[in-house]
Structure 1
Amino acid sequence: MFTRVLRQSFQRQEGQALVMAALMVLVMSIAVITTVNIGHTVHERVRLQNTADAAAYSMAAMEARAFNFYAYANRTQVSHYVSAMMWQSLLSLIYFAEAFVTDIYGFMRTINPCAGDASGPFWTVACLALENLVPYLGQILKVIDQFMNVFKQLIQGFQTVLRTLNPDKLIGRLVIPTHRVLNGVMFFASQSVMASTLTHVAQTTDTVIFANDKNVDPKLGQLAAGALSLCLFDQAHFREAGTSPLDVDKGGVGRNPFTPIDPTKWRHAEKEARAKRAMATITNGTRYGCDAGGGACPEGFITSRKVGDLIPLPDGLGVIRDLLNSDIDTPIFSFAKYGQTRFLTTNNPNAAKIRKVNKPYDPRNTIRDWNDGIEPTLGALAQGDNLGSDDLYWIKFGPANFPGLRNPLACRDSDNPRECWGDPRKGYKEGKSDYLTFKHPTKTSIWAMNESEDSYEHGGVHWRVHHTTLPVGDTWKRVYSPRGPESEIGVHREEVCALEIAGLCPPLAPKLDVFTANVMPAEDGNHPWKGIVPFMHFEPGQYGDTCGGAADAENAAERYKHDFNQPSTWVALHKTPEQVTNAGGTDYAGTGSNAPALLNDEGKVQWRFSAKTPTLEMQNKRMKFLSAIEGLNVVSRGQTYYHRPGNWAEHPNFFNPYWRPRLASVYQGRHSMPFVGQMMDKLPGALKDMPQKVITH
């Protein structure tokens, strides 16, 4: 029985399909596993690309933050320069006030020689005769004499306070230089931000990469992509203005923030001069220390210190303000007041030009010059090597000349200003080739100069009232002491010929005493100005090649190849087949390990149907990049770009905080990679579109 059952079981056919079914299950399992692996690989490819995008964008964001910080730091530097101008304007106004009230007293002393002690034999006899012959004249002269004595005492009190407090020394040597020190601190802060950004760019923000995918080792990409990003970041910096990340020759991030940009560089072709001109031009264009239209600190305090600007009048009296700001020029009386402070270029002026008081009396005022000494002439595009202030004024009664007579109350523009109230030399040398309207008026004025201008203790020159003694704590190179009976208050007496013939004074011609404020150049060492502090400036010049050579000073960077020197950030990431499995256990939770899809630790399936042993490789070990690197490879490009909202045409700069990050096309940035862009451009027509199709991001 048992034998029969066993024999029948061998004769049945029902179980033959089981073998095929088992094989089909194996094939289907392998297909499912392969599909899972492909899906996982695609997922890993997308995640790796997202990681690269995040890193590239993060680097661009860091650069944008650095550039925006530069902008705020540079704006702060401009505000400090404007504040320094305001302090120097205040000094100039204070010493103008001293000169003006002293001139007023000298004017009264000139037109009333009989008040006080009459000078000279002519007026001694004439005053005595007038007092005895003209009724009540003696009493009138006594009243005038008393008024002048009171006015003189007020002037003496004002001068005593001024010379004791000596604000010229306090503000000129301490307050104004402090603003340069603060600017040095701002440049140091910019250097620190640059150094921090440099670290992030050099490391291709590996912290971002690690946060996104702990299985990626970015060191290989750092060697190439990080170096390229560093170079492009470096090329956005104008080295001559301050420094750049890779500027080893000039000290790199360690450049002394208190050493000025070379004041001796002034020519148009010198990039240091161009850098200084950028900062100085913006500063000169921002010279508004106050926002008010009037009041104690008017808007034009730095740019236009006219009488109407200085008197706090309400808006309803604007007509009076305009009248006071206008020059008074009539046959009977002439008066004008000007005032301005601004940056100047080196040697414009130097100490020799501004202290020129020997004959011909020809000092040089360059504050209002259209000629800044640069060829070709660039007008008011000064470089900030010197800082000048002037407060000019003049007073005239009657015409300068009567027929055959010299009017001592109205100087000609060719007369020695020591004989005049204020400085009437506006328009001097009219008609000559070197004619400039305000070339020669210098009373009163302050010229803060750099160390190359040969001024005493590098402290500039100050046109101010000279006394017989120096202010408290001052040491001057030379003192032009006043002469005459009023010298104790800084009034100088000069004898003026009343009758000139052919420009000469005959031996017996009468002479009159003219009393004026003794305003002369003082080299007191109180006005040092080292020049423009280094600052971060954007490089607009076209480089010959990426990461090679210097920028072209004459041609701006093109949009097509160099994106106007707006830097790109590159990230190249690689993930080996072993890293794609995301092995690592709980330390890498959330990364999506595909180890189960490999069937075993080796990731291989083997079976034998014959003498050969076929092997199915479950890991992705195909050659992916230039047939040399296994696994997944991605490239991403970020860009730091400049855009003022509503204006795409504005050039990139480090003065406005409008820098932003973005992801950019890898293909469009091909010219920023050495040789890659050139090779792509040289492909024949049929192949030109291939790189763009291959590089999809």
Structure 2
Amino acid sequence: MFTRVLRQSFRRQEGQALVVAALMVLIMSIAVLATVNIGHTIHERIRLQNTADAASYSMAAMEARAFNFYAYANRTQVSHYVSAMMWQSLLSLIYFAEAFLTDIYGFMKTINPCAGDPDGVFWTVACPILENLVPYLSQIMRIIERFMDTYKTLLRSFQQILFNANPDKIIGKFVIPTHRVLNGVMFFASQAVMASTVSHVLQTTDTVIAANDKNVDSKLSQLASGALNVCLFDQPHFREAGAHPLNPIRNPFQPIDPRKWKHSEKEARAKRSMGAITNATRYACDAEGGACPEGFITSRKLGDLIPLPDGLGIIRDLLSSDIDTPIFKFAKYGQTRMLTYNNPNRSKITQTGRPYTPRNTIRDWNDGIEPTLGMLAQGDNMGSDDVYWIKFGPEGFGPFRNPFACAEDDNPRECWGDPRKDYKDTGSQKLPFKHVTKSSIWAMNEYEDSHNDGGVHWRIHHTRQPPGDNWRRLFRPSGPESEVGVHRSEVCLIKVFGRCAPLAPEIDVYAANVMPAEDGNHPWGGIVPFMHFEPGQYAGTCGGAASNEAAATRYQHDFNQPSTWVALNKTPDQIINKGKTDHAGTGSNDIALLNDNGRVKWKFATSTPTLNMKSVADGSKLIFPTGLNVISRGQAYYHRPGNWAEHPNFFNPYWRPRLASVYQGRHTLPYAGQLIDSLPGVLKDIPPKIITH
């Protein structure tokens, strides 16, 4: 019975599809679970990539903010330097006014020697006769004398106020150097911003990573990428100009070495960028006309200084023009600018004996830099001049000298103003103002050998020094009008071979006693450190030495705009949120499995194939860590709207962050770019197809 039922069951066919259905359900289940797991892995991969992108972009944003802060700090430094020049211009103008007004009195004394205190036996006897016995002349002389007495009283009062107040010491020794102190503070603030940025870059902005995904814990990769990012952040910093991330400590008040002035020296090129921008920014006031007119630092002609309404523009233009007629010659110039080391130094600017060749470098195109670079000064010194000359009549007739009009080679102490324009101006180098120094201020650094490092001031020397001053030398005026700073010179009227002819008559000429004063009131330390963008590649990527450290080589990739790299890894346990740390209380993100082992074994013969249902298999850690791995690159880049051609710099706040191509940034990774570029043949086309992010 049993065997018959068994034979009949073997002959039935209606249950054969059940086995196939069971297998199909298993396969469909595996497919569904695999699809879910793949989708989950792709989701985690996208999430991890977004986290890396957020971290790299955040680092680039912090670097861009630091660079923009540098730009604002550097602009503030420029404004402080311009302000210092404005104060020195004001000083120069004040002491020019004293010299000019004194010269006017000296001229009146020269044409009327009987006014004031007569000098010598001749005028002591002759003046009473001329004033009392000669018709008409005596009346004219009395009028001139009364006017001169009043003028002298006012001049003496002005000089006494100036002498007692001594603004040269207050402004020159304290106010102007304070601007350098303020710039040191600005550099210190830039150092602080740089240090703060480095701390975030070194940690690859781990706070951003934690905020996006708490399961990411790639300490090793973060450490490596953080070190690389700090190195790349260090490269744009021109270390000769200021501090840099790998050496952040630098005295903010110690100037960049003023003795570095050659084009081959990187310190000189750094200073030149600040000095040139400062000179180009010399704008005295943000107002037209008034007490502080536009262009006060760059031009102090009379038409610029006298506040005239627009309707009197013709008079302003006339006052600003040189007067050069056979009867009367007059001109007034003024300018302040940054200068270079040794241009001038003490010996160049204090020459008072023959030949009279002090060195005025404010207007020279040849500033002594090798090679000649014109007006690109470095800020080691600061010069101001308010030069002028007054001449009546022609300068001479053959051997006869006109005492009222000095020639170019005459002693400036005998002249009203400085007559040396065009002195020895021959050949191709047209430098007409190179010897004109009355009146002027030369603030100098400590290496120029000036008295107490205080520079040189061409100003009136009185019979005594202002209170509190300690001059190296006082050139006291001589003659009856020395009390108002007027020096008497005996001028020979006939010269032969440069010497006074025997028995030739002489005449007393009275002029303002303007001489070089080494008063210690004008110290100028030079340019303080500042953050400067490295405009070329002086070293290889992150520590590789360049062939020539003195000269920049062309940077082929990104022009030294720093990249920010982030490489993240998620282990299998972190992918499934095994520790339930990512979303508290919501459970894990474990993958769908058919059993606890996560594996399905198929046994049809001696071999046993195994299907692993886990989304991320345990793999080798020799090349890539187990789990998901992503890489991202950000970049702090410079772009001035409307001008793609402008080179990156730390003077304009146009730095921005962006996500950048990983493949295009391969040269910022040590050896990676060189390795990829050296692949042979068709292999070179593989990396750009694989590296797509």
Report the TM-score when normalising by structure 1: 0.94
**1:357-379 CA distances to partner (integer Å, 9 max, x unpaired)?**
12322211111111111121111
Partner of residue 249, structure 1? none
Q: Distance in 1 between matches of 2:504 and 2:122?
A: 12
Report the TM-score when normalising by structure 2: 0.94
**1:439 is aligned to 2:450:** no
The residue type paired with residue 555 of structure 2 is: E
**1:189-215 CA distances to partner (integer Å, 9 max, x unpaired)?**
111111111111111111111111111
* Alignment map for 1:324-343 (pairs within 5 Å): 324-343=319-338
**1:508-529 CA distances to partner (integer Å, 9 max, x unpaired)?**
3222111111111111111000
Q: Distance in 2 between matches of 1:175 and 1:72?
A: 23
Q: Note if contact 1:468-1:487 (Cα within 8 Å) is conserved in structure 2.
A: yes
Q: Note if contact 2:576-2:591 (Cα within 8 Å) is conserved in structure 1.
A: no
2:339 alignment partner, one of 337, 344, 354:
344
- Distance change in 2, residues 1:499/1:684 (3 Å): closer
Partner of residue 655, structure 1? 651
Partner of residue 554, structure 2? 557
Q: Note if contact 1:327-1:335 (Cα within 8 Å) is conserved in structure 2.
A: yes
Q: Distance in 2 between matches of 1:432 and 1:126?
A: 50
SS at match of 1:542: coil
Q: Distance in 2 between matches of 1:555 and 1:214?
A: 44
* Alignment map for 1:623-638 (pairs within 5 Å): 623=619, 628-638=624-634
SS at match of 1:638: strand
Q: Distance in 1 between matches of 2:486 and 2:480?
A: 8
The residue type paired with residue 595 of structure 1 is: D
After superposing the two structures, state which structure 1 stretch, 397-406 or 619-628, moved more.
Answer: 619-628
Give RMSD over aligned pairs.
2.7
Partner of residue 672, structure 2? 676
Partner of residue 665, structure 1? 661
Partner of residue 35, structure 1? 35
**1:151 is aligned to 2:151:** yes
Q: Distance in 2 between matches of 1:131 and 1:611?
A: 144
- Distance change in 2, residues 1:379/1:592 (3 Å): farther
* Alignment map for 1:223-242 (pairs within 5 Å): 223-242=223-242
After superposing the two structures, state which structure 1 stretch, 419-428 or 31-40, moved more.
Answer: 31-40
Q: Note if contact 1:53-1:636 (Cα within 8 Å) is conserved in structure 2.
A: yes
- Distance change in 2, residues 1:431/1:623 (3 Å): same
Partner of residue 87, structure 2? 87
- Distance change in 2, residues 1:591/1:245 (3 Å): farther
Q: Note if contact 1:541-1:552 (Cα within 8 Å) is conserved in structure 2.
A: no
Q: Note if contact 2:215-2:582 (Cα within 8 Å) is conserved in structure 1.
A: no
**1:530 is aligned to 2:522:** no
* Alignment map for 1:531-680 (pairs within 5 Å): 531-543=526-538, 545-547=540-542, 548-550=544-546, 553-559=550-556, 562-585=557-580, 587-589=582-584, 593-595=588-590, 597-598=592-593, 603-605=598-600, 615-619=610-614, 620-621=616-617, 623=619, 628-680=624-676
After superposing the two structures, state which structure 1 stretch, 537-546 or 517-526, moved more.
Answer: 537-546
Q: Distance in 2 between matches of 1:7 and 1:670?
A: 75
* Alignment map for 1:456-475 (pairs within 5 Å): 456-475=451-470
* Alignment map for 1:50-449 (pairs within 5 Å): 50-246=50-246, 252-431=247-426, 436-449=431-444
- Distance change in 2, residues 1:20/1:506 (3 Å): closer
**1:606-661 CA distances to partner (integer Å, 9 max, x unpaired)?**
68788987654222116488754321111111111111111111111111111111
The number of residues matched between the two structures is 690
The residue type paired with residue 296 of structure 1 is: A
After superposing the two structures, state which structure 1 stretch, 337-346 or 393-402, moved more.
Answer: 393-402
**1:317-347 CA distances to partner (integer Å, 9 max, x unpaired)?**
2221111111001110000000000000000
SS at match of 1:240: coil
Q: Note if contact 2:303-2:319 (Cα within 8 Å) is conserved in structure 1.
A: yes
- Distance change in 2, residues 1:385/1:544 (3 Å): closer
Q: Note if contact 2:117-2:481 (Cα within 8 Å) is conserved in structure 1.
A: no
**1:689 is aligned to 2:685:** yes
SS at match of 2:592: helix
After superposing the two structures, state which structure 1 stretch, 513-522 or 213-222, moved more.
Answer: 213-222
SS at match of 1:341: strand
Deviation at 1:670, TM superposition (A): 1.2
Deviation at 1:38, TM superposition (A): 0.7
- Distance change in 2, residues 1:592/1:179 (3 Å): farther
Q: Note if contact 1:187-1:535 (Cα within 8 Å) is conserved in structure 2.
A: yes
Deviation at 1:499, TM superposition (A): 2.9
Deviation at 1:222, TM superposition (A): 2.1
**What fraction of aligned residue pairs are identical, expressed as a percent?**
74
Q: Note if contact 2:131-2:142 (Cα within 8 Å) is conserved in structure 1.
A: no
Deviation at 1:7, TM superposition (A): 13
